[in-house]
């Protein structure tokens, strides 16, 4: 079964075709980052307008790369929540039009469910149940994935998402948006023990995260330097910040694996492209006899292949949408 999927939840306009949830036939991502970079972050109205302008062409390019015709598509999947509402509505409207014109099923896909599905594309043997850590620009969740379409949220951030903390630290250091990758690169030449930043815990909720306290500690350190007209060692700051993030996420995922008696761990989302985080997770999982499944780096950020993959499993679970499908800015993964 070939699922054609659309993703427009934030600042990437993406289309993909995936066969039986696992095999990528074609995947196209048109990013708007260069334009949002001018403003230091995503400007929602600009994002919606750019999706509107490019979605049809992105769909056509994706089909052409696959050497397929729309008539050879079996279903249309689309991200409908959560995300920027104007952006989501562009994708949902396009997908509805396509589904109606082709007379093929329409499948609504939750953005976080699709991030988890990115791991199916890179690990053909991976099957639920497993424990997933989603670390993206908008979310940081630990989820017990009981089955392809059954989820239980085990922990979440109480304030900033992991990616948000990366982006804010990067911004304070003068790096362009989105700063996660810049922090990753700078940290490679830094000393991770230069600063002992806090690793905040949430009282009474051992699996929840709080990245805001860590972010504030790094920003305070940067301001300290500025007040003294000193130039901070950016590489050391990035490496020490990243080390604290590595400690925070690896401790919780190992603890959650024990509590839920899970040996399969999936880590996904944009921040999972981080080289130090990937290396640390591999080390900690090996030490604790856990099998780690990561998406390929190209599938960590927003893309439509992961939407098509999850769309296939939603279809198998009879989760078919109709022409009244709407978009939602926020929606729990276990809706």
Instruction: Give me the residues that bind Zn ion (CB under 5 A), please.
Output: 136, 302
Q: Considering the complex, what minimum distance in angstroms separates the CB of residue 288 from Zn ion?
A: 27
Query: Which residue is associated with the tokens 């362009």?
Result: 176
Question: How far is Cα 195 from Cα 241, in angstroms, rounded to an integer?
Answer: 8
Q: Considering the complex, what minimum distance in angstroms separates the CB of residue 171 from ligand KG4?
A: 10
C-alpha distances in Å from residue 23, one per residue of 19, 30, 140, 301: 5, 21, 27, 18
Residue closer to ligand KG4 (CB basis): 99 or 250? 250
- 7 is an interface residue for ligand KG4 by CB under 6 A: no
Which among 270, 321, 260 is positioned nearest to 108, based on CA atoms?
321
Q: Considering the complex, what minimum distance in angstroms separates the CB of residue 48 from ligand KG4?
A: 16
26 binds, among ligand KG4, Zn ion, none (CB under 5 to 8 A by kind): none
Residue closer to ligand KG4 (CB basis): 10 or 108? 10
Which among 104, 112, 119, 114 is positioned nearest to 4, based on CA atoms?
104
User: Taking a C-beta distance cutoff of 8 angstroms, is the pair 306, 121 a contact?
Assistant: yes
C-alpha distances in Å from residue 89, one per residue of 16, 39, 80: 18, 23, 8
- Region 269-288 residues binding ligand KG4, contact defined as CB under 6 A: 269-271, 273-274
- 105 is an interface residue for ligand KG4 by CB under 6 A: no
Q: Considering the complex, what minimum distance in angstroms separates the CB of residue 232 from ligand KG4?
A: 19
C-alpha distances in Å from residue 133, one per residue of 37, 130, 184: 28, 10, 19
181 binds, among Zn ion, ligand KG4, none (CB under 5 to 8 A by kind): ligand KG4
Q: Which segment (87-95, 118-126, 161-169, 233-241) binds ligand KG4 by CB under 6 A?
A: 161-169
- 3 is an interface residue for ligand KG4 by CB under 6 A: no
**Phi, psi for residue 73 in degrees, rounded to 5:** -85, 140
Residue closer to Zn ion (CB basis): 15 or 186? 15
- 301 is an interface residue for ligand KG4 by CB under 6 A: yes
H-only helix segments in the chain: 33-37, 44-66, 85-102, 111-122, 162-172, 180-187, 212-227, 234-259, 275-287, 305-316
- 190 is an interface residue for ligand KG4 by CB under 6 A: no
Q: Considering the complex, what minimum distance in angstroms separates the CB of residue 22 from ligand KG4?
A: 21
Where b means 16+ CB within 10 Å and e means fewer, 228-257 reads: eeeebbbbbbbbbbbbbbbebbbebbbbbb
Q: Which segment (61-69, 86-94, 174-182, 193-201) binds ligand KG4 by CB under 6 A?
A: 174-182
Residues that bind ligand KG4 in the complex, under the rule CB under 6 A: 10, 136-138, 163, 166-167, 178-181, 184, 269-271, 273-274, 301-302
């Amino acid at each position: 079964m070939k699922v054609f999927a659309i993703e427009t939840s934030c600042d990437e306009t993406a289309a993909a075709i995936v066969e039986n949830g696992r095999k990528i036939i074609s995947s196209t991502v048109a990013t708007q980052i260069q334009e949002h970079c001018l403003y230091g972050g995503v400007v929602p109205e600009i994002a919606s307008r750019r999706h509107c302008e490019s979605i049809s062409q992105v769909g056509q390019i994706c089909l052409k790369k696959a050497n397929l015709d729309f008539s050879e598509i079996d279903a249309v999947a689309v991200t409908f929540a959560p995300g920027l509402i104007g952006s989501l509505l562009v994708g949902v409207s396009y997908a509805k039009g396509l589904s109606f014109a082709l007379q093929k099923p329409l499948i609504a896909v939750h953005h976080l469910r699709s991030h988890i599905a990115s791991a199916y594309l890179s690990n053909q043997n991976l099957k639920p149940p497993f424990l997933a850590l989603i670390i993206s620009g908008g979310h940081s969740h630990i989820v017990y994935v009981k089955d392809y379409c059954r989820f239980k949220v085990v922990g979440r951030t109480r304030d900033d998402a992991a990616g948000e903390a990366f982006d804010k630290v990067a911004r304070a250091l003068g790096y362009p948006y989105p700063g996660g990758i810049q922090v990753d690169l700078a940290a490679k030449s830094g000393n991770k023990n230069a600063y002992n930043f806090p690793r905040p815990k949430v009282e009474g909720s051992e699996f929840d995260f709080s990245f805001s306290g860590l972010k504030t500690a790094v920003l305070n350190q940067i301001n300290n330097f500025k007040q003294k007209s000193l130039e901070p060692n950016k590489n050391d700051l990035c490496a020490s910040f990243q080390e604290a993030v590595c400690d925070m996420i690896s401790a919780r995922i190992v603890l959650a694996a024990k509590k839920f008696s899970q040996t399969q761990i999936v880590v996904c989302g944009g921040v999972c492209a981080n080289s130090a985080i990937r290396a640390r997770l591999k080390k900690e999982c090996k030490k604790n006899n856990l099998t780690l499944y990561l998406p390929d780096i190209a599938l960590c950020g927003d893309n439509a292949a992961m939407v098509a993959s999850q769309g296939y499993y939603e279809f198998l679970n009879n989760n078919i949408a109709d022409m009244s499908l709407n978009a939602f800015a926020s929606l729990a993964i276990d809706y």
